[in-house]
Amino acid sequence: MNLVTDMIQNLPAWAIGPACVFGFIVPAMVGLTLVHGSIHQRLKLGETLIDNGVVGWFFSGSLTIYGITLGLIAVTTWESSRGAAGIASREAATIAALYRDSSGFVPPLGEELQEKLREYTHFVIEKAWPAQRRGEILTDGNRMLDEFQRQLFTNEPKTEGLRILQAEAFKTFNELVELRAATHGGGESART
């Protein structure tokens, strides 16, 4: 069962429609064609057929409910997808801002912080997102952010400008942690 579920979840968007048609509609049409003759003969009462009007109304109502349900599912899926994409975009923008803030720290701290952010970004794109697509949640990103946080906290700014930069970096880091919790289920990373 898990293999079938994984196979269905990994289908590209363009293949879902044809898969539904060939998986459900074609077998239903074949079944209808095969049993139509025998059912048609059994429903005859003398020379007249039973009135199909009731059956038509039943199918009409069923299809209406099905159409409304399908429309609501499509809208919900679209909104969820759009919301996740928005959060992921905000997370990327926050990483970019934090990367830029890190460039203002005295070497070698600035380069080390930027390297940690590059590692985190590669991890999210290359490992965490594909794992999420398979239904897994990886927590290595939390460890990476914790290491970044430790380095940021151990810094002792010497000038007022560096103190302001560090305060801004703390604020941006907190936003990143919140967005990670929203997109990756990784809320256990420590916050400032």
Report pLDDT for 135. Answer: 82
Q: What is the pLDDT of residue 116?
A: 95
10 three-state secondary structure: coil
pLDDT in tens, 31-47: 888 887 777 677 664 44
Per-residue pLDDT tens over the stretch 125-164: 999 889 888 888 888 999 999 999 999 999 999 999 999 9
Whole-number pLDDT of residue 187: 45
Q: Are 166 and 155 in contact (CB under 8 A)?
A: yes
pLDDT, position 189: 43
**Which residue numbers in the chain have pLDDT < 70?**
1, 40, 43-51, 184-192
Amino acid 190: pLDDT: 43
* pLDDT, position 185: 60
DSSP states of 129-156: HHHHHTT----HHHHHHHHHHHHHHH--
Q: Is 103 exposed, middle or buried (0-12, 13-18, 19+ CB in 10 A)?
A: exposed
* Cβ–Cβ under 8 Å, residues 142 and 188: yes
Find how far residue 169's CA is from the centre of its chain: 28
Alpha helices in the chain (DSSP H): 2-9, 13-20, 26-42, 53-102, 109-123, 129-133, 140-154, 160-184
**Domain chopping of the chain, boundaries:** 16-46, 81-184
